[in-house]
Amino acid sequence: MQLFYSDLLKQTTSTYTFPREESKHIVRVLRKRVNDLIYITNGRGHLFTSTLIDENPNKCTVSILRHTYHEPLPYYLHIVVAPTKLNDRFEWFLEKATEIGISEITPILCDNSERKTIKTDRYNKILQSALKQSLQFHLPKLNNLTPLKDFIVASKQDTSIKCIAHCEEGPKQTLKTLIKNKKRITILIGPEGDFSLSEIKKAFDNQFTAITLGNTRLRTETAALLACASVAINNQ
């Protein structure tokens, strides 16, 4: 199944016209013709089955035949992660995390952050592309770049399991132990230079639990992806 994405689709939508770029892809690359089926998701759980009624490569139009709702992940995973210095590594994380299963992503600005700006529009396009490729129907929520200390303070009322993965010595729990039978998980992943001691202390003061992701030191994007995979595996 070839899946397309548009957040404009609602349950009451009867027809939809694709923008020029996707119209060209549908008509000229996929060679879709009138009456061919086209599948679209709005990223909010709905799959729309439609049929092509106008094969104009500049603005092809479909008629919605029916829609079905797909339940979200059986858990809610929020990864709070410092964007990497090399942008392609962070984009790789966004793509793979979406394929594995993630609910929300908050890029954070830390004391040791080397990347202090992000390309939100580009990141959202990567999430959408990964959503379509992996045939999923719930688009992960991408938040704005947020100072870590602001995020920690704002999370005081958060009732999820709150974890921080850092490289300092000290007692740490495994994700498997913490997330057993828990449905909402928030995990902090630091920058290449790790969290500062003051940031770790602030997290502890606000009920974050230290976790281990293994015995080796991982790159930021690897640690974040391993956290995603661990939560997914332990919720199967």
Picking from 34, 52, 69, the residue at the C-terminal end of a domain is 69
Residues 28 and 122 in one domain: no
Q: Are residues 55 and 97 in the same domain?
A: no
Query: What residue numbers bound the domain in which 53 lies?
Result: 3-69
Give me the percent of the chain exceeding a pLDDT of 70. Answer: 100
d(CA 64, CA 137): 17
Task: Count other Cβ atoms within 10 Å, centred on residue 120.
Answer: 13
Which pLDDT tens digit goes with each residue over 117-168? 999 999 999 999 999 999 999 999 999 999 999 999 999 888 889 999 999 9
Instruction: Report d(CA 235, CA 74) in Å as an integer.
Output: 7
My answer on whether 193 and 89 are in the same domain is yes
Mean pLDDT value across the chain? 95
Q: For residues 161 and 225, state if they share a domain.
A: yes
Shared domain for 153 and 63, answered yes or no, is no
Give the domain CATH number at 181: 3.40.1280.10
Question: Is there a single domain that holds both residue 63 and residue 132?
Answer: no
In angstroms, rounded to a whole number, what is the distance separating the alpha carbons of residues 155 and 162? 9
Same domain, 63 and 94: no
Scanning the structure block, which residue is given the tokens 């479909």?
A: 62
Which three-class secondary structure string do you get for 73-98?
Answer: CCCEEEEEECCCCCHHHHHHHHHHHH
Do residues 185 and 164 touch, judged by C-beta distance below 8 A? no
Residue 110 has pLDDT above 90, yes or no: yes
Q: Is the pLDDT of residue 177 over 90?
A: no
* Total domains in the fold of the chain: 2
CATH for 9: 2.40.240.20
* 55 and 137 belong to one structural domain: no
The stretch 6-34 carries a mean pLDDT of 96
Residues 64 and 128 reside in one and the same domain: no
For residue range 194-206, what is the model confidence (pLDDT) as tens digits? 999 999 999 999 9
Whether residues 30 and 104 share a domain: the answer is: no
Neighbours of 135 (CB within 10 A): 14
pLDDT in tens, 156-170: 888 889 999 999 999
pLDDT above 90: residue 99:
yes
Q: What is the pTM of this model?
A: 0.94
What pLDDT digit, counting tens, does each position of 48-69 carry? Answer: 999 999 999 999 999 999 999 9
> Considering 36, 69, 102, which residue would you say is the last residue of a domain?
69
Q: What does the pLDDT average to over 82-95? A: 96
| Same domain, residue pair 170 and 64 | no
Both 105 and 219 in a single domain? Answer: yes
Q: For residue 132, which of 219, 13, 17, 26 has the smallest C-alpha distance? A: 26
Q: What is the pLDDT of residue 181?
A: 67
Among residues 69, 93, 117, the one where a domain terminates is 69
